[in-house]
Amino acid sequence: QVQVVESGGGLVQPGGSLRLSCAASGIIFSCNGMGWYRQAPGKERELVARITSGGGTAYGDSVKGRFTISGDNAKKTVYLQMNSLKPEDTAVYYCNAELLVVGARQWVDYWGQGTQVTVSS
C-alpha cells in the first residue's frame, strides 16, 4: 500500500510565502518523479511544478520565477517553496508521485489528498 501525504498549506497574505512538503511511503521499488498540481474552484487541475528522478524540473507558466520545487528522490519527498504569492494562487494543492510498487510491472501515478492554500488579505 502506498501513501502520499502533503503538509504546509494555510492562509497567507498577498506577497507572502509558504512551503509545502510531501512524502510518499509504502512498498515502493522506485520513483520516477514527483510534482505539485493545483485546482481552484471551477477550474481544471493544472501543473504547478514537477521534478524528475534525475533532478530535472518543469513549472507552470503562472508560477515561473516565484515557486521553486526541490526533492530527495531516495527519500521520496518533494517540497514546493512559494514566494510572492498572489490571490490567484488560491487553490487546493495536490502532490503527485510516479511510482513503481514492489511486484508491479508498470509505473502508476499516486495522489495525495490535497492541502488548501489561500492567499488573501
pLDDT digit string, tens, across residues 71-96: 998 899 999 999 999 999 999 999 99
The length of the chain, given as a count of residues:
121
Angle at 77 between CA 74 and CA 17, to 5 degrees: 145
What is the per-residue pLDDT for 91?
A: 98
pLDDT digit string, tens, across residues 56-75: 999 999 999 999 999 998 89
The mean pLDDT value for 19-36 works out to 94
Judged against a pLDDT cut of 90, whether residue 1 lies above it is answered with no
Cell of 113: 489528498
